Structure 1
């Protein structure tokens, strides 16, 4: 009876979280941390923790598609991970190879038109993993309904440095005009195919850091960040929905900030046509929650800065 009641309460809370999501993020990036600690916690081998983590990966992919998220990036293996003992690396590489083939052949991937891509220093990976990557990318290259980026041998700084070198070389050879270098010039050289800006980073396992993950796309977009305690194999749909709620709160905060700044700017400007000014003020005021709308003639509060949303629920 107690377990039945607990399950009902959990499901009700989950439905409440879903209803609270007005507009999901387009791109979620996940740092899958805690596989080995999960294994130690249960007295198992590290390989068992990684295999349990793969089950969570499959669940998250399904949650994203159900909720309308368009792109998911999974931090699977960093450049720093090459320092691990060879026996651990062999397990990780074997599992990556196996699951890349499984994903590439899965009916659900093709039914939902999932495009699988690998980002990172792929040539550093064992040849068998590179072959699995090629197979998965070729099998799904014509799809664009959903993008699954798998970060393997990935390092954010190294990726940005490589792109910067490419830009310098292109400028030196006259391929591009240095005066015309812009954000798109760099973004086009980060990966073989463009990656959306990141809206939300989720990290499991309790650590509160982003570990050099997608710095161009996350920091540049001031992504929301959600840190949670469960190890990756324990990560639940409720945990995921809480992360999406963090993104919602961040978006609401930004909307309020922009509206307040707009009101302050219009009221500070001189020589603006009265009708145009009134219409702009009305739109800005309407963008604020009812309880936060300033009265006519009342100067709005203008925040000096806005922090990236973060939560440790």
Structure 2
């Protein structure tokens, strides 16, 4: 069975993908916004704003494909090192995105969550995201995770500290600490690990993104910069994933 998609770059074409072997959870590193703008002689912040429209397209495509979880690397703990005007612009984008597209997300039954340490985000970002989380709480379609102020190593360190505290308080036995137990202390507790990681922009590294959760994930890299990433490339990634055999160390 096929799912039709409209290719917005070529309106006379339809994109199709089989229902078979669709990943439950897709994680995306949305790379290349700044370079997209610089190639056009524009400030880097213009690329970040342009990237919003790509988020909308890919979320809609994921809904059509019946993906259960989509996790987007929105702002990392390392991104604070960037120039302040760029950081300020990036941290205004969640509010701008949700002000425009929250009704569409509600109509598509999307549930919004965050992963990361949001306590250090500016109030306008926290308030906008928290409002969206509350508004979509009862939706049961695609779970859209925004990784905000997220760092994979810090997540693991925080989880280790919580495990140690629970062992010290006799809430947990050290003999009961296995992979499943440890995973329950991570931001992604209760979610399946990503089946597929997509990274745009030509780089081939994880950049401190979900290091525990991506242990057995299939990776798909593309040189396409995030603002140019379309449903066509998204479907191509799903098709390539569908053809792979995941062995998990077996034969």
TM-score normalised per structure 2: 0.90
Q: Which residue of 1 aligns with 2:86?
A: 88
Structure with the bigger percentage of strand: 2
Q: Following the alignment from structure 1 to structure 2, what is the Cα–Cα distance between the partners of residues 179 and 93?
A: 42
Whether 1:115 aligns to 2:111 is yes
Deviation track 1:100-155 (CA, whole Å, cap 9, x = no partner) reads: 3444x31x322222110111111111121111121111111122221000001110
Alignment check: 8 A CA contact 2:66 2:142 kept:
no
Aligned residue pairs, count: 243
Alpha-carbon distance in structure 1 between the residues aligned to 2:179 and 2:224: 36
Question: Is 1:201 matched with 2:197?
Answer: yes
Which secondary structure state, in structure 2, belongs to the residue aligned with residue 215 of structure 1?
A: coil
- Mapped pair 1:75 → 2:73: yes
Q: CA deviation at 1:213?
A: 1.1
Counterparts in 2 of 1:1-313, with a 5 A limit?
7=10, 11=13, 14-15=15-16, 18-19=17-18, 22-103=20-101, 105-106=102-103, 108-191=104-187, 194-219=190-215, 222-251=216-245, 254=247, 261=251
Q: Which has the higher contact order (CA 8 A, sep 6+)?
A: 2
Structure 2's unaligned 5+ residue stretches are 1-8
Contact 1:163 1:189 in 2 (8 A): yes
Match of 1:216, SS state, is coil
Q: Quick one: distance in 1 between partners of 2:196 and 2:159?
A: 23
* Structure-1 residue corresponding to 2:3: none
> Once the two structures are superposed, what CA deviation does each residue of 1:154-191 show, in whole Å capped at 9, x if it has no partner?
10111011011100100011011111122232222112
Q: What do residues 198-241 of structure 1 show as CA deviations (whole Å, max 9, x unaligned)?
A: 0000000000112121122211xx11100001100001222111
RMSD: 2.1
SS in 2 for 1:190: coil
- Please identify runs of 4+ aligned residues in structure 1 that moved more than 3 A: 100-103
Residues 101 and 135, structure 1, Cα contact 8 Å, conserved in 2: no
Give unpaired runs (5+ residues) of structure 1.
1-5, 262-313
Q: Based on CA coordinates, which of the two structures has the bigger radius of gyration?
A: 1
Q: Per the alignment, do residues 193 and 133 of structure 1 end up closer, same or farther by CA in structure 2, a change over 3 Å counting?
A: farther
Residue number in structure 2 paired with 1:297: none
* Corresponding residue SS for 1:185: helix
Q: Structure 1-normalised TM-score?
A: 0.73
Go from structure 1 to structure 2 and tell me whether the alpha carbon gap of 1:246 and 1:192 turns closer, same or farther (over 3 Å shift).
Answer: closer
